[in-house]
Structure 1
């Protein structure tokens, strides 16, 4: 093969997404100004033009580096102007050309190109073999793809010039610009033929894959059509037999529901297996509706649907403060959980236990937690639950079997990460039907509840993303293994100011709306709310307060409807008129200092309270009597106090032989109410010493704490509740164990200011503050 090269200066025309081979004619639409001027220059220069393809389509004004160096020298055959301002030009490729230099003079573009012209070509045996291979592959390609015309195939069969042969095939193939450019840049025809062999071989592989995929698609379509035809036949047969239940259509709907439910692979296989059983089962078989119900449960339980947490801490804090006054510690814990979620992106749901007296807002706080997180809220009550199946569900072999309450709650929530409230967890019981608290051990263990198994569902269900919240009045009634899995947050009683704020911001608006009242016709003064709190309620929470406010609203509506008044303003005087005489006396402390009577502070499931311990001494033989329905712990406290006084009689100025000459009677009033607890030791000892020495107990002093036989005062719990009860009773000084100094911050500041808090470590300290000198 002889190749002659010469250098020539010709106008340059850049092409976008197009490439022309020698010997090929093509129409081009030219619109760029520089390209139009290059066309004009070419008409003056023997109609010769150099076409070079751009590397990037988006380049508007290409420079030398933006063009491929190998292009095509063409001759312009014909031009015509189009209506849109562009010019259509027909060009014919003459030969390959290589750009040597690039000249851009404002509106004109030229290029010096080296033209590669093939003068003579001798077809070697190697070329002949390559041409035959290319032709065979091209012919097969043309038959399989139908993208090449038969005329081209016939023409190529007689073509003996390798150059024309290779360029004709290259121009007929649908290739990308990079592939075409590689063929154009191959000056040696042998290299060009080898490139064509590689390209055609790759195209044949692609076509083979397309045929294989097409057969698979056709097979799947045929199977779908077959199933559709059989289902239509089944419908007609069922209709003729009087089967109106539409089992076939029902099975199709269930199949789609199962496959789109997001079940894990194991559950999906189980569901499809049960569906096949259901499909083959006659309608009159009793097991059919049981399988159908089971499949409905599997489909309706959420498997993947998840609520996106609202991780805006400012908004969450605003919601918690809007819904509840006080309870700062619990709010802080929820915000901590949100902060960790926001930082890590995920966190296993904690198991919170909100413990406290009735009416302090445990359930409503759980609802606020759900609202602040943006999650669904589900509540189930565990009070009185005795059957383990209530938690784990019944096995499907039983008639009327159902999933447990947890799965039912998840179905109700519709998501896998709701806030799930297990209310009154301390009131569960056990009998011959099992222990439900034991069934909850797996549920409330973050390390196990990702594979919770319900007896009805029979497959593992993931509860790890659920935020469980439990409530309890008495933590001591919760089984220890169950309590160990929970983080206990204590909600103590409210102060008067907190109750007043709750009434003003929550209870009063709620009851006014329920009774059809507005601020124009009904108003309650703050002093009136305080009066209601002090004289008509006695509780740690606000339920009784809500009932009293509802009573005020009802009375006001009656007055308004009877047209006795146009507007009702609840003053302190109106409170007694509408609610009747006060039910409780505010300030229950003794009115005078009395011998043998000490005031103790106690904690109950309903909050804090005060207890008067009365001691009476009479001539006798040292008999110790305890009355007032005291529990075993308080009886032992009395025995310990009695023993301490005997051992230290001289130091306490007590007759050393009092236990031989006097009978002692210890009584705690309200005998119908059971009383027990480990914090009445110093109160009983003080009352005993007062009765034996004749020294009066100070009426304004309350005390709490257990004592040892050596007189040391032990720490107690429920300090906040006891301090609230002391304030409510009108006491001004309380004596508490010195070790409880760490709990002093739990007492609200308003209560701390109204009470003198004295820390004691020994009974001597108690007597110094609690007893007066004898009279």
Structure 2
């Protein structure tokens, strides 16, 4: 069964159904006083008429078209009798011949008001709902469904409460809102709705006509409590209102967008006509300007053909099309690039050296390399830019050195930070077909510099990372290869660009994280850091004047003595560079500026005691050489990012079974050095005058003080073996001696790094003698003579030489007598 027309949200509120043959009018809203049938008129056994997509409620009148044979037989028989039938909704709307188990058990008793037989054989009936029922038992399925039913009370209160009145008013308001949002419903429906006074009929009528699924309407029909049925109905209606409002908003927005597009197109056409009349700039004028600029460019033939081909393509586009501004931006970017435009280099090498010396104290290797580059360029007048990589700890002036090089060469300066870059498109650019496509930062920075041969600093190249978006370090391989970068292709640009005239300078704090292939393309120049003497000079020449200027002080307002600067360097900073030193100088200068502003008295000549008064207690303790009265305590040399330091290795023996204990937060390599040293002593005990049984009778504990500081590296090897040899022989260690070097199991001494920093640390600590590997002699020769003139160096190749130099013949004052017990016993059985 199906309804004769679509009763969609109140469409029938003001409609009547007309029987054209008889001229009778049957109102689709029945008078409220007509309740349909009395309970006494309704038999217990009813024929059940299944309805598809429709739920009938008491008091509601609806037309139904009957087409199934079972249903036609049922209707005709009922129409000839008492005209009373049961009406129930189908569970499965696709079933054409529903059985009793395919219809809902709760339905509505209805009376057939009118039956009309149509020419096509279908029958239309007008029915009015009366009472709700629930099936007790189905009796048959053929020739139609019949069932024993029980009538259900609607339980509407005779006198409504305030809560119920408020609920009914909310329902009416919601219905009015739906009528306003639905323009297809006639305006008379509003007055018809407001005329309904019976609460039960109002709820039934709206339940029948709301826009909801059959299952939801069936749920309303099955609810016995009036309050609950009303609240559920209101919930469905509010949901319907939200849907209608959303549809209305979408329709309005779409309509507005279409109107805006039409308006924009119309205005553009008018603007084009006006511009043509007035001779102003329009799309054609912009294209002509690009053609003129392109004709003046000194670029390769291939690029020229590509550019003018793009302009021809743009000229055929509609200026209102979305692709037009994208294509115009691309053409403008190409023509903005400095094709073949180079700044003229200054080959005055003496001037260049003065600039480098004035801006940076020390860094002789780097300065010499730059002067060499300028010399070759001056003689040859054509040289592919070398790729320099300045490697060293933070704060040593790697980045600022790039500015000085640009100033010396009179080239433009460009800097690109690579720290944290993990998208390959940052280097190579995006394909211009992508939404929001952009060229890579290499090409972008060249466009900003307006020259093809700037000094290009690639900062923090060791901090490039990779993820699913690509590997930027691999993209840099082409950029930094002098043999390839003359034909670099950016994905956005799509044509080759010559980077061979660019002077690339990379900076890095560590070489370990740089991809090997990328590292191979660069010339590594190590900047190891500044010595204390160099830091003093840098502070006097650069840092103090700079901070005075930045804080509004004049030269005469304050001066730093050498002792004050030493106090700042040793007591308040611990670094290889001068960044922290600049910060503490700024703190002191701010304090002086405050005193001047408040007109307070202060010392214009700062000594070390004034530094402590201004900054408070020293933050770092200076490690000084200690005496050698205890066996097993040896001074080693270590390299840190803050420069060189001395450290002590302490060894002690206790009665036990030969257990080795290592402490002091040592790394794996340092632990292995200790085990290697012990193994060497065991295998060479006789040479050193050690009873081999001692190793099984005493536990050995090796400790490196400052246990909270992690320590690692192989350079403590000879220090370890000297410490162990001293404790096992109880021999005294030479006074004011320090050492560094790696050892092997065979006793070979291997070279280590950071010699300059280590030697200067030993000098500051008051050490006189230093033991180094013979192969580290070349590193000592690179240190300035003024720094090592008070030191004596012992270059060795074997551990035996180390022990010979380090250990004295005499024993320490409180030497232990190592007791050896023979634990071997012979037993027989």
Q: Shorter chain as normaliser: what TM range?
A: 0.5 to 0.7
Give the match's secondary structure for 1:383.
Answer: coil
Q: Does 1:287 align with 2:315?
A: no
Distance 1:605 1:242, change over 3 A: farther
Give the match's secondary structure for 1:689.
Answer: helix
Q: Where does 1:355-366 land on structure 2 (aligned, <5 Å)? A: 355-366=391-402
Matches of 2:551 and 2:365 in 1, distance apart? Answer: 34
Distance 1:558 1:341, change over 3 A: same
Q: Residue in 1 aligned with 2:607?
A: 571
Q: Does 1:441 align with 2:461?
A: no
Select 2:807's aligned residue among 762, 771, 774: 771
Deviation per CA, 1:17-70: give whole Å up to 9, x if none: xxxxxxxxxxxxxxxxxxxxxxxxxxxxxxxxxxxxxxxxxxxxxxxxxxxxxx
Give the match's secondary structure for 2:501.
Answer: coil
Q: Where does 1:97-136 land on structure 2 (aligned, <5 Å)? A: none
Select 2:376's aligned residue among 311, 335, 340: 340
Give the match's secondary structure for 2:569.
Answer: helix
Select 2:740's aligned residue among 704, 709, 712: 704
Q: Does 1:646 align with 2:669?
A: no
Using the TM superposition, give the Cα deviation of residue 451 of structure 1 relative to its aligned residue in structure 2, in angstroms. Answer: 0.7
Give the match's secondary structure for 2:617.
Answer: coil
Q: Residue in 1 aligned with 2:567?
A: 531
Check whether the contact 2:673–2:717 (CA below 8 A) recurs between aligned residues. yes
Q: Residue in 2 aligned with 1:554?
A: 590
Q: Does 1:752 align with 2:788?
A: yes
Distance 1:458 1:605, change over 3 A: farther
Check whether the contact 1:593–1:698 (CA below 8 A) recurs between aligned residues. no
Matches of 1:309 and 1:245 in 2, distance apart? Answer: 40
Matches of 1:298 and 1:619 in 2, distance apart? Answer: 81
Q: Residue in 2 aligned with 1:269?
A: 305
Check whether the contact 1:523–1:569 (CA below 8 A) recurs between aligned residues. yes
Deviation per CA, 1:416-474: give whole Å up to 9, x if none: 11111111111222222222111111111111110111111111110101111111122
Q: Residue in 2 aligned with 1:247?
A: 283
Check whether the contact 1:238–1:246 (CA below 8 A) recurs between aligned residues. no
Q: Residue in 2 aligned with 1:300?
A: 336
Using the TM superposition, give the Cα deviation of residue 409 of structure 1 relative to its aligned residue in structure 2, in angstroms. Answer: 1.8
Matches of 1:631 and 1:238 in 2, distance apart? Answer: 79
Q: Does 1:720 align with 2:756?
A: yes
Deviation per CA, 1:394-417: give whole Å up to 9, x if none: 211222221112112212221111
Q: Does 1:692 align with 2:728?
A: yes
Q: Where does 1:620-699 land on structure 2 (aligned, <5 Å)? A: 620-698=656-734
**TM-score scaled to structure 1, two decimals?**
0.67
Using the TM superposition, give the Cα deviation of residue 242 of structure 1 relative to its aligned residue in structure 2, in angstroms. Answer: 14
User: When the two structures are aligned, how many residues end up with a matched partner?
Assistant: 543
Q: Where does 1:458-537 land on structure 2 (aligned, <5 Å)? A: 458-537=494-573
Using the TM superposition, give the Cα deviation of residue 705 of structure 1 relative to its aligned residue in structure 2, in angstroms. Answer: 0.7
Matches of 2:604 and 2:528 in 1, distance apart? Answer: 34
Distance 1:730 1:498, change over 3 A: same
Q: Residue in 1 aligned with 2:403?
A: 367
Range 521-530 or range 322-331, more displaced: 521-530
Give the match's secondary structure for 1:726.
Answer: helix
Using the TM superposition, give the Cα deviation of residue 647 of structure 1 relative to its aligned residue in structure 2, in angstroms. Answer: 0.1
Using the TM superposition, give the Cα deviation of residue 674 of structure 1 relative to its aligned residue in structure 2, in angstroms. Answer: 3.2
Which 5+ residue runs of structure 2 have no aligned equivalent? 1-268, 813-829
Using the TM superposition, give the Cα deviation of residue 598 of structure 1 relative to its aligned residue in structure 2, in angstroms. Answer: 2.0
Which 5+ residue runs of structure 1 have no aligned equivalent? 1-232
Check whether the contact 1:535–1:584 (CA below 8 A) recurs between aligned residues. yes
Matches of 1:625 and 1:463 in 2, distance apart? Answer: 58
Deviation per CA, 1:214-245: give whole Å up to 9, x if none: xxxxxxxxxxxxxxxxxxx9975365999998
Give the match's secondary structure for 1:744.
Answer: helix
Using the TM superposition, give the Cα deviation of residue 698 of structure 1 relative to its aligned residue in structure 2, in angstroms. Answer: 4.2
Check whether the contact 1:520–1:567 (CA below 8 A) recurs between aligned residues. no
Matches of 2:559 and 2:299 in 1, distance apart? Answer: 56
Matches of 2:713 and 2:720 in 1, distance apart? Answer: 13
Matches of 1:658 and 1:245 in 2, distance apart? Answer: 98
Q: Where does 1:229-248 land on structure 2 (aligned, <5 Å)? A: 236-237=272-273, 246-248=282-284
Matches of 1:571 and 1:622 in 2, distance apart? Answer: 54
Q: Does 1:432 align with 2:459?
A: no
Check whether the contact 1:587–1:731 (CA below 8 A) recurs between aligned residues. no
Deviation per CA, 1:574-599: give whole Å up to 9, x if none: 11111212222334332554322222
Q: Residue in 2 aligned with 1:187?
A: none
Matches of 1:393 and 1:527 in 2, distance apart? Answer: 53
Check whether the contact 1:599–1:613 (CA below 8 A) recurs between aligned residues. yes
Q: Residue in 2 aligned with 1:256?
A: 292
Q: Please report the RMSD computed on the Cα atoms of aligned residues, expressed in angstroms.
A: 2.4
